[in-house]
Chain A
């Protein structure tokens, strides 16, 4: 089977001929696929060797992140370094860079929100962007009709997100796995289509413009300063998110989520209220998305339904999956990589979605844990032994 594999792939990729014959492309694809198939086979073999080893109990790998967090000598200077860099960033780089960073930080925030739902509770939510849209439209509409400012709407957006989370959560609680994914996907699309078609309510495809940026005690800020202010605001909010999610993760309810992810039936048998647990996961995830939406609206000052397609959900999902489901540092890294990299590699930006797709597959096949695979191990029974052996 391995021998037929490259042939298979090459044949499959020859589709690229329109009436204009593009033999050049064909050649590139052929060579690329040939090389890739070698890499692929190498990885497969490596993975198989790895599983054999773990099955034989030869190695007990401790994830890198945990190794680092065990040693204060490494992580304190690293933390200070990162903090220093974060503070100096808007002064050292141009406004364009800062803007990109703000986007990345928004993704950090909503990525962490989705991490609650997907990473911790194990509920695959493909309509996450719906809550994001809800937040953004809450701000835009409240501002348009009632002239409410950013700071008033931020908690309102969070609350509306929360409400929608419960609203969606209630009916879909009985579903799980694939069905849940599809229903949430459907829900996301419903929200988008409604926003697109209900002209009187949401101004249709043309969107809402002139949304004010967040104010700073009523002082008029120049564009430069506003961006900088926004950046620090985002840093603050991201830190707040990290703090809350971290606390949640180690709290009673966080443990319940992880238990739910690992084994729903066992979890019920242990007396955890499944309904309540799922609902909180959904609602809390949606809360962050709502807040993220408000910030997004404030940042871009313009929103329309085109910003909230299903692919946006998938990018956020990518952030969570790439970084490592359930791990906070992983999600942060994932967001930074996924959002910053395409910006700096402008030349490849049209291949971005293509790469995202390939990446999801590859991650799932070779490293389902993400870049930083986390937590799971420490909660295992064997993990405790390994832990004590290491001490």
Chain B
């Protein structure tokens, strides 16, 4: 009995963690390349979820079958979020590339605030019901009562995305250019890398994974509103920092750790202070190990 409860919490943590991981990837990639915390990232995630919702409801009216809806909604949401990510970078960050860090950060906060309220105005502030996109399928019997089909889908999608992303970064030309840019932007430029394009690509990739995360979590929880991006964004950031910001395996590891700790904390201690706990976690990590679990300590640039 107790063991089962533990398993449930463990899997819950795993699910949470993998969604955080999808969002945290964006933070970590962007930070790795331009050393900026993209505050608007959580909002991109939210926009992805909203787009998916809108597309789904339109398609449902048109009467397509469910598989087509899922595929189309995901594709459209990913494209839209990527376009957002791209535009945000062009508007809010690119002009500030050589400005002080404080300016870029304030600009990012402004962007986040703008997007949030823009969605609030365009949609409503209510929680909108989100249809469960993932069809029910039977899980093998001994696990059936602790893991649902949605959780399964989330886990599988996350793993697939991770593998694709690792492949992209390790073995393709773009990935190589990205790594080069992350190490030294000027040198990469000298070596013939179009740095601006790489930064755009990074933003697009990060936004796409965030959108996937958005769709998954929205269909998992079953409702969204304009504010969901903020909290998840912060938590994903915590995860990214926990794993060592700038490192992709670190982001995944950090997300899983955060997901599990949160899940066990809620399960065994109290659910009221869940968010407080996440924030405290963040504060402690930043104070005692700002480089994270897998992070390297940066040398001070003078």
Contacts and interface: CB of A to CB of B under 8 A. Distances in A.
Contact of B87 (A8, A314, A321): A8
A8 B287 contact: no
**Range class of the A interface residue count:** 35 or more
Interface stretch (A11-19, A138-146, A246-254): A11-19
B116 A193 contact: no
Contacts of A186: 234, 279-280, 282-283
Nearest to B128: A18
B170 interface: no
Given A15-B50, A354-B121, A364 B103 contact: yes
B37 interface: yes
B122 interface: yes
Nearest to A311: B113
Contacts of B115: 357
Contact of B105 (A181, A311, A358): A181
Contacts of B280: 186, 190
B276 A193 contact: yes
Interface string B99-143: 111111111011111111110111100000000000000000000
Given A124-B105, A171-B287, A265-B302, A360 B84 contact: no
A189 B287 CA distance: 17
A197 interface: yes
Contacts of B273: 193, 197
B190 to A, nearest CB: 22
Contacts of A175: 286-287, 290
A354 B282 contact: no
A353 B114 CA distance: 7
Nearest to B273: A197
B102 to A, nearest CB: 6
Contact of A15 (B80, B95, B113, B282): B80
Instruction: Give the interface centre of B51, B61, B92, B113 by most chain A CB atoms within 10 Å.
Output: B113
Nearest to A358: B114
A18 B276 contact: no
Contacts of A183: 282-283, 286-287
B116 to A, nearest CB: 7
Interface string B24-64: 00000000000011000000000100110010011001000
Interface in B177-206: none
Contacts of B102: 118, 122, 124, 177
A11 B83 contact: yes
A181 B37 CA distance: 10
A350 interface: yes
A55 to B, nearest CB: 12
A340 interface: no
A356 interface: yes
Contact of A182 (B86, B103, B237): B237
B121 A351 contact: yes
A124 B237 CA distance: 17
B176 interface: no
Contacts of A310: 230
B61 A19 contact: yes
A8 B83 contact: yes
Given A193-B273, A364-B99, A15 B51 contact: yes
Given A8-B86, A182-B37, A357-B115, A189 B279 contact: yes
29 contacts: A15-B122, A44-B95, A118-B102, A126-B109, A172-B286, A178-B36, A178-B105, A182-B237, A182-B282, A183-B286, A185-B234, A187-B283, A189-B275, A193-B276, A353-B113, A353-B120, A354-B117, A356-B113, A357-B109, A357-B117, A360-B110, A360-B113, A361-B111, A363-B106, A363-B110, A364-B92, A364-B107, A364-B110, A365-B92
